[in-house]
Amino acid sequence: MAQQNPTPHICFDRIVPSSYQPARATTHRIATSNYIATVRQKTARLAVAPPANATLFQHVRSIQKLGSLSASDPVAIARMAVIDLKKWDNGRSLRCRFLDGDDFQQGKVKDKADIWCDYANITFSFVDDPDAEVRISFQADPGSWSAVGTDCLITDYFPQYQPTMNFGWLRDDTADEEYERVVVHEFGHALGCIHEHQSPTENLQWNADAVYAAFSGPPNYWSKDDIDHNILQKYSPNGISATRFDT
Amino acid sequence: MSSIMLYQFDGSLFVDGKGTPLNTQLSDQDKQMIGQMYPKQAADAKTAGSPA
């Protein structure tokens, strides 16, 4: 591929951190209890004994703290568990609402999002409901990102007047191929998929110095902390020095 | 392996200099994976009233 730009626009998944404790939420009890029920249900499916209420979130936290694990198999199992925990019910219709954007932008997003529906038992309905599960902006910030799966329902993190998904660089003059690359990717997050890099089936080692140099400049302009979080730690189950990377 | 969930990273970012491929479309693996996460057959069976 004759790509000249060595540093592509990179998206990130906004996974709700393990420190989040839904039990403490007081203002959005329905969404929260739905989330807890989902977590319980998915946890029960994992061939792991369903943890008692008090230890449930300890369990969730422990499977999300993958950096400390060294053997590859437990990491793989835990990674899959994290994905499974955030899955929607099969056959569900997800309501999607545009918070902004013009007709061209919205039309492109609808077309590209629907590509998933040819292969997944999920439908997207684009509506104006204020409580739509997926809320889309083109101008929340310069980045492109999405909540992962049922994290969309956690209104402590994604209040209903705010987006769960942003397309910071898709404009009327953006190429169709770039729309497809970014929109399908972000809707993959919305369906519960995490970055492919996070599935530790193959080895690749980052050159950390080169990564810092590349992502601190255009078009991402990330700080060292951003780069650690968005690239090096996220895509390195065993830490920066002994990277496992899926390609 | 190719996947829409894998972004392109230039070879200069890696110790082995190989980089990752540019993925702009759903790959066959993506289609298979999402079909396992959200199977269409299970829904058909459910609506037809078949036992689980």
**Which ipTM score applies to this complex?**
0.74
Does some domain include residue A41? yes
Q: A19 with A93, same domain?
A: yes
Q: A168 with A103, same domain?
A: yes
pLDDT at residue A216, as a whole number: 86
Query: What residue ranges of chain A have pLDDT lower than 50?
Result: 1-6, 18, 23-33, 46-80, 198-201, 237-247
Does some domain include residue A5? no
Q: Considering only residues A25 and B26, tell me which one the structure prediction assigns the higher pLDDT.
A: B26
Does some domain include residue A167? yes
Whole-number Cα distances in Å, A3 to A6, A172, B4, B8, B23: 7, 22, 17, 10, 12
Q: A226 with A212, same domain?
A: yes
Q: A34 with A155, same domain?
A: yes
Any A CB within 8 A of B38 CB: yes
pTM of the model: 0.67
Does some domain include residue A29? yes
pLDDT at residue A35, as a whole number: 52
Question: Torsions phi, psi of A217, nearest 5?
Answer: -105, -170
Count of domains forming chain A: 2
Domain residue ranges of chain B, discontinuous segments joined by +: 1-42
* B38 has pLDDT over 80: yes
pLDDT at residue B21, as a whole number: 67
Preceding peptide of A130 cis, ω within 30°? no
Q: A190 with A205, same domain?
A: no
Does some domain include residue A2? no
pLDDT at residue A95, as a whole number: 98
Domain hosting residue A104, numbered range: 10-194
Does some domain include residue A1? no
Distance CA A56, CA A98 (A): 35
Nearest-neighbour CA in chain B from A150: distance (Å): 14
Candidates A87, A192, A195; nearest CB to B6: A195
Q: A134 with A52, same domain?
A: yes
Any B CB within 8 A of A119 CB: yes
pLDDT at residue A140, as a whole number: 86
pLDDT at residue A238, as a whole number: 38
In B, minimum Cα distance to A182 occurs at: B24
